[in-house]
Amino acid sequence: MTAPANDIDEYRIRAREWLAKNLERRSGDRTRVPRGTTPEQVAAARIIQGKLFDAGYAGIALPHEYGGQGLTQAHERAFKQEASAYRSPNFGVIGNTTFGVCAQVILAHASEDFKRRHMPRILAGKELWVQFFSEPGAGSDLAGVTTRAVRDGDHWVLNGSKIWSSGAHHADYGMCLTRTNWDVAKHRGLTWFAVDAKKPGVTILPLRQINGGSEFCQEFFDDVLLSDEDVIGGIGDGWTAAQTMLMFERGGGRAEANAELGRQRPGRTLAPDLVELARRRGVEKDGRIRQAIALVHTNDFIQGQLGARIGAKMMRGRADAGMAAYLKLAAGTFGPLRACLGMEIAGAGAVAWRPGDAVAERTSNVYLNGRTTAIAGGTNEMQRNGIGERVLGLPREPRFDSDRPFTEVQRLAKEWSGRM
């Protein structure tokens, strides 16, 4: 559906007026320390999200029956452009998993009933969702999960453990990948369930991270009762929904925004955060530091242009997890490097600093968190495998477990001598 241009202009004017009355302007403050979000911040974000929802500015292009406004993508774009100057609800990491990943998988795979039940609550900030897929023994080998859901009369009984679930301590629901059939090949016996985080038998334990924060958690499920209403996608069809999830997790949902940035080709500023760091230390004329800033600037630019090209390709029909792997690999390669160079520029001041020096604290935290983009959502090695096999058509890695029932794979793994 397309909307007449004057419709969009009027909509934009109304949105602009609403934003000015209801939201705070962004301050451009670069001192936020990325150490996780507090319950108070999440509660405040829920209130702002509720305001947006009540005013009709959440789910603008989604159908009315899911709590949306049934308007066009052009309306949604116009609102986003106007809203970019204002502080959006700051849910921290759980905001991205709720709106950027879980809601997208629900829209693509859940039943009509499920969408009508959960989507309006998600849009209103009443349901925050996290991903329960990784396990202590199944990360890169995601199809190897052993958390099980067993049918028992009208119910399913969930047992097992998940780990590294970002934001789970703030969650209302987790989207949980389970094994429901052990007698078929590992990719075929999987099913996603919605798990209410407050249900009896669900234990969520925050994990302490190297930067002192606790942004992700481990969960234990002990005889948690689920029903058919909680299934997302078909029973045994979990791998299909997992591919959608990985595509969004790897940045595939930003394809349009990335492509748009590429079209505009903005004259990018020279790594402003690092220039500011160098100035604070008085080393902005040091040749070595200038080289580091130039390298970061070049990488930022390359990453932006790569994002634009991949975004454009995805919009032309190649929206899949293999294509999104390019975006994730770029983030996982340039991100850690940028964080290291930030430390070099900041020098000893980012190792030890006076209390209250938020810039130094932030620099050290970005460094400590730096490796996460090379791991979360699939490691750099797995992105390279995905690009090689799914995009370039290179020979697949040798696999001994894709055509055997999963029970047999487990038995063979236990008996394996370690010799190839």
Ligand X SMILES: Cc1cc2nc3c(=O)[nH]c(=O)nc-3n(C[C@H](O)[C@H](O)[C@H](O)COP(=O)(O)OP(=O)(O)OC[C@H]3O[C@@H](n4cnc5c(N)ncnc54)[C@H](O)[C@@H]3O)c2cc1C
Each residue 188-207 as x (binds ligand X by CB under 6 A) or -, in order, gives: --------------------
Tally of helices (H runs) and strands (E runs) in the chain: 14, 8
The nearest distance, CB 417 to ligand X, in angstroms, is: 20
Q: Kindly report the backbone phi and psi dihedral angles of residue 217, in degrees, each rounded to the nearest multiple of 5, phi listed first.
A: -140, 165
The CA dihedral of 136, 219, 88, 10, to the nearest 10 degrees, is: 90
Q: Is 385 in the site for ligand X (CB under 6 A)?
A: yes
What lies within 8 Å, CB to CB, of 321 at 6+ separation is 243, 244, 246, 247, 250, 252, 386, 390
Among 129, 133, 156, 193, binds ligand X (CB under 6 A): 133
Q: Is 249 part of the annotated catalytic residue set?
A: yes
C-alpha 328/C-alpha 346 separation (Å) is 27
Residue number, 306 or 375, with CB nearest to ligand X:
375
C-alpha 251/C-alpha 248 separation (Å) is 5
List 249, 260, 284, 408, catalytic entry: 249
Q: Is 139 in the site for ligand X (CB under 6 A)?
A: yes
C-alpha 248/C-alpha 40 separation (Å) is 28
The CA dihedral of 222, 228, 230, 236, to the nearest 10 degrees, is: 90
Each residue 70-109 as x (binds ligand X by CB under 6 A) or -, in order, gives: ---------------------------x------------
C-alpha 241/C-alpha 220 separation (Å) is 23
Among 104, 159, 333, 379, binds ligand X (CB under 6 A): 379
Q: Is 402 in the site for ligand X (CB under 6 A)?
A: no
Q: Is 382 in the site for ligand X (CB under 6 A)?
A: yes
What lies within 8 Å, CB to CB, of 54 at 6+ separation is 124
- Site size with ligand X, rule: CB under 6 A: 23
The nearest distance, CB 380 to ligand X, in angstroms, is: 7
Among 171, 275, 376, 409, binds ligand X (CB under 6 A): 376
The nearest distance, CB 200 to ligand X, in angstroms, is: 22
Task: Determine the straight-line distance between the first and last CA of the chain, rounded to whole angstroms.
Answer: 57
Give residue number: closest CB to ligand X: 139
Q: Is 291 in the site for ligand X (CB under 6 A)?
A: no
- Adjacent-strand bridge partners of 135: 138
183 and 189 in contact (C-beta within 8 Å)?
yes
Residue number, 98 or 131, with CB nearest to ligand X:
131
C-alpha 311/C-alpha 304 separation (Å) is 10
Element at 162 (helix H, strand E): strand 155-166
Q: Determine the interface stretch with ligand X among 5-13, 223-231, 372-380, 399-407 (rule: CB under 6 A).
A: 372-380
The nearest distance, CB 25 to ligand X, in angstroms, is: 30
Closest CA to 222 of 162, 160, 156, 135: 160
Among 222, 381, 402, 416, binds ligand X (CB under 6 A): 381
The nearest distance, CB 149 to ligand X, in angstroms, is: 16
Residue number, 185 or 375, with CB nearest to ligand X:
375
- Three-class HEC string of 329-359: HHHHHHHHHHHHHHHHHHHHHHCCCCCCCHH
Q: Is 173 in the site for ligand X (CB under 6 A)?
A: no
Residue number, 255 or 382, with CB nearest to ligand X:
382
The nearest distance, CB 337 to ligand X, in angstroms, is: 17
Q: Is 166 in the site for ligand X (CB under 6 A)?
A: yes
Would you name the residues annotated as active-site residues?
Answer: 249
Q: What does the binding site for ligand X look like in residue numbers (CB under 6 A)?
A: 97, 130-134, 139-140, 162, 164-166, 216, 372, 375-379, 381-382, 385, 397
